[in-house]
Amino acid sequence: MEAIEQTTRLAAPAEEVWRWHLRPGAFERLVPPDVSARVISRDPGVPLTGRATIAVRRGPLRATWVAEHEGDAAAMRFVDRQVCGPMRSWRHEHVVRPRGDGCDYHDRIEATGPWWLPSGVLRRRVAGDLAWRHARVAADLERHARFPATPLRILVTGSSGLIGTALRAYLASAGHDVVRLLRAPEPGAADAIVWDFQGPVPPLDGFDAVIHLAGANVAGRRWTAAAKRDLRASRLGPTAALAAALAAHPPRALIVASGISYYGDRRDEVAEDDACGGGFLAELARDWEAAAEPARAAGIRVAHLRLAMVLAAGGGALAKLVPAYRLGLGGRLGSGDQPVGWIALDDVLGAIEHVLHRPLAGPINLIAGWCAQREFARVLARVLHRPRLAPPAPRALLRLALGGMADEVLLSGTAARAARLIDDGFTFRNQRLEQALRSELAR
């Protein structure tokens, strides 16, 4: 049996660290980015008492994990033990101990792996996971501490997507009441509001803020005329309908997703006051932002998040690139000179929290940095410890295979900076590309 321990000194009071663990979303925030974990069932008393059943996937390995929990709230301690799952044995003790104005955050795991897993590999993997979890808790608590502790009631659309899923857990673990707005009912989402943006408007009053992330994937398929119509329809109509509905019961803020592609293909670094560029994506972003006009006219603070490529292991462009790069097939696209703007998923969440609490309105660039595409390929290959064996992908071949999508998504790019966020005091945790990739890929 391996015993692995980690203790971290946190600046947050012990009571706040303990409360964080009891809130909805805390479990999801503690899952490493290279692991997929879906809660199948969870007793109401978890983590202090009861069972939780979780579907877990790490790489090609899949398992169902059933854990029994017991805890002592007065001692700020709880333990989960594997009842059945992939390990021969597992006991995980979590303890928060007051220390001065802060606390000691302690984990101890006693585990015996399956017969085929060497004990040294198990120890390194568990120790790495604990170090990552402690860093995640410290970072989340530090960010939350910068804003008032008063809980907000927040409505989120696009809550099943890459950003929406992570945002729900992040905001809930901060103590906010997060309500999902769904187009159709979903199992296990009984407390959600269902509206397809076309029928009768459900009650949307009583919210402090609305975060609108819904929209079809831009790079999901070849851009036929029908695909372009779908991309516009998934953004413009729902945004206009939501903005009009909110005008009757105005929240304090409406935060709407947009894209850094608003500026078009730009090699000179742009900021929020620069003009809209040319091309389908630029026009789509422009019209998407304009669709929120009914909310602005009603006096609602409206902010548009002009997002760069979001780096995340669990989805988006990076998740599509990693399999090819692991095979050594990553490389240059076209000339490789086109700028690639990027931002780590965790910084997206922090930026949205910042915009929620600060009086920011209008366009806000969410981009931590940018580099030439050939440099992005080089750094990603290095982080994955893989060679780049593929020859450069010719521009003509990419256009033949993907049409206009290749021109605007793969062969063009935008060099931009997050001027308004930075001027307002926001700090990106991942300011270098390699740092961001290692953080999001748990490398």
Among candidates 428, 315, 323, 412, which has minimal Cα distance to 365? 428
**Amino acid letter, 348:** V
φ, ψ dihedrals at 32, nearest 5°: -55, 150
Smallest Cα–Cα separation from 337: which of 401, 412, 393? 412
Q: Phi and psi dihedrals of 31, rounded to 5?
A: -85, 120
- CA 420 – CA 248 distance, rounded (Å): 30
Confirm or reject CATH 3.60.15.10 for domain 2-144, answering yes or no: no
**pLDDT at 200 (0 to 100):** 92
Distance CA 226, CA 229 (A): 5
State the architecture of 153-440 in CATH terms.
3-Layer(aba) Sandwich (3.40)
Written as one letter, the residue type at 257 is A
Q: What distances in angstroms separate CA 203 from CA 208, 245, 250, one per listed residue? A: 14, 9, 12
Q: What is the pLDDT of residue 318?
A: 92
Residue positions counted in the chain = 443
Question: What pLDDT is recorded for position 274?
Answer: 97
pLDDT number for residue 441: 87
* pLDDT at 383 (0 to 100): 95
| Residue boundaries of the structural domains of the chain | 2-144, 153-440
pLDDT at site 176: 97
What pTM was estimated for this model as a whole?
Answer: 0.95
Contact 283, 258 (CB under 8 A): no
What residue type is assigned to position 389 of the chain? L
Per-residue pLDDT of the chain (443 residues; tens, 9 = 90+): 789 999 999 999 999 999 999 999 999 999 998 888 999 999 999 999 999 999 999 888 899 999 999 999 999 999 999 999 999 999 999 999 999 999 999 999 999 999 999 999 999 999 999 999 999 999 999 999 999 989 999 999 999 999 999 999 999 999 999 999 999 988 878 789 999 999 899 999 999 999 999 998 887 678 889 999 999 999 999 999 999 999 999 999 999 999 999 999 999 999 999 999 999 999 999 999 999 999 999 999 999 999 999 999 988 999 989 999 999 988 899 999 999 999 999 999 999 999 999 999 999 999 999 999 999 999 999 999 999 888 888 888 888 777 788 888 889 999 999 999 999 999 999 999 999 999 988 77
